[in-house]
Chain A
Amino acid sequence: MLQGRWWSWGFRSTVMLYFIVLIIFPIIGIYGQSFSSGWAAFAENLTEPLAWKAVLLTVKLALIATVVNMLIGTMSAWVLIRYRFPGRRLLNSLVDLPFALPTAVAGLMILLLLGPRSAVGGLAEQLGFTILFHQPAIVIAMVFVTFPFVIRAVQPLLEEMDSSEEEAAYTLGATKAATFWKVILPNMLPGILSGAMLAFSRALAEFGAVVLVAGNIPGKTLIASVYIFGEIESDNTIGATAVSVLLLTFSFLILWTVNYVQMRRKGG
């Protein structure tokens, strides 16, 4: 009995220690670095127009990519769990592909498929806009690399869901659509949100795929992670970590708010 206590105490401490050492330390490290030369240097690096323009652009594009992913991700998760059709298993197995592909390859793919020499790129060019090296390409790259998150977070929820809530809605006269919106969707919501959070964070920080397909022109197509990379390479660690800290804090606030709201709703 006492032994059991020791075990559980040991487990708890190990897990917490791991969490602190692996996750919290480096994050504190980033904050520490960014303030290592004092507040003034930090502020100066952030008030730098190239920096905050890059951050704004990144946030904007990451938001768009997240919304796109919430839509197609929820739809795909739904279709893959609720409908039976030939090829379903194959599609389901393809979901995680964007993760398995080195991001450099993902970038290359987009380059080859949407570049000026490709059919799509050519068509877009004729319609008067360019995809590659402009904002659409960044969004596409972000959507691609974050594609699995929402799907994988929603699927288990749909599988675990108790069908009687749905039946109750039907007996109350709700159409399939109404049932979906009012009963099923709220049940999927934790998954959608947690998937979207991950997707958003990842999109904010994505580097490999984007760097290849974005023009990286400051103010126009330079996103934060590429800016950060530039600062690191030009030996401005403080500038790099300062922008990182900004994105991190922003992410953290969003995550915290979402968690807070969800916990509030559950009252527990």
Chain B
Amino acid sequence: MMARITASVYTSHVPAIGAAIDLGKTAEPYWQPVFAGYEKSKQWMRDNTPDVIFLVYNDHATAFSLEMIPTFAIGCAAEFQPADEGWGPRPVPKVIGHPELASHIAQSVIQDDFDLTIVNKMDVDHGLTVPLSLMCGQPAAWPCPVIPFAVNVVQYPVPSGRRCFMLGQAIRKAIASFDAPLKVQIWGTGGMSHQLQGPRAGLINQEFDNAFLDQLIADPAALSNKPHIDYVREAGSEGIELVMWLIARGAMADVNGAGAKPTVRHRFYHVPASNTAVGHLILENN
């Protein structure tokens, strides 16, 4: 039996959420509504623990300086340490990788004309660890191996939504050709609307965000044609992170002629967490 994608998870990855968890502030009035939105998700993770998580995120000037900026980088190492982003490393478990599956995916998608960078040494920042904390709480070890997949959304040009969606399709094909009966979840993280810089900092667009969630569920192929400028103008300069959700969505059965529309197991939206709108979806394959 071959590996298969069982579900996709989408979530913002705000650093302040990580700080709130690490400092025990999750019950405070400011934070309580955010974490309440993930209670159901944690139960779902316990009930549906995968064998591997393929976790799409972006590095925030942590592992990658300006010396080298890969558009797409796949982590093929045996483990990845939580990074010191300037406040000291987060007190979370180290991330155990899945070198065999990661290398297999790299091999397959490079042959499908995606020009990945293979990474065998990398610390992982809040972009990867905050989603794990939101979905898994504070365990002594993460529940399964994780393949980090870093997308450049820091220096323009970032990859187009369309390119991301097609990459998701290629990743699905790669996973389906791995000869081991693994249940794999694919996670897309970052967003939703936010802008961290300049006089326009603090921009939030609830209408855009909810329309994005609707269309991500119903018609992601059309959504993938949204140009960068629409994200920047409508969802803030850092809202561009949402293109990463299209990688996860492109890996689902329905957009690969392999199944019906996914079941929306959970949907959550809240403003604000620090500077950012928090959005979250769990989609199960059918």
Do they bind each other? no
B-binding residues in A (CB < 8 A)? none
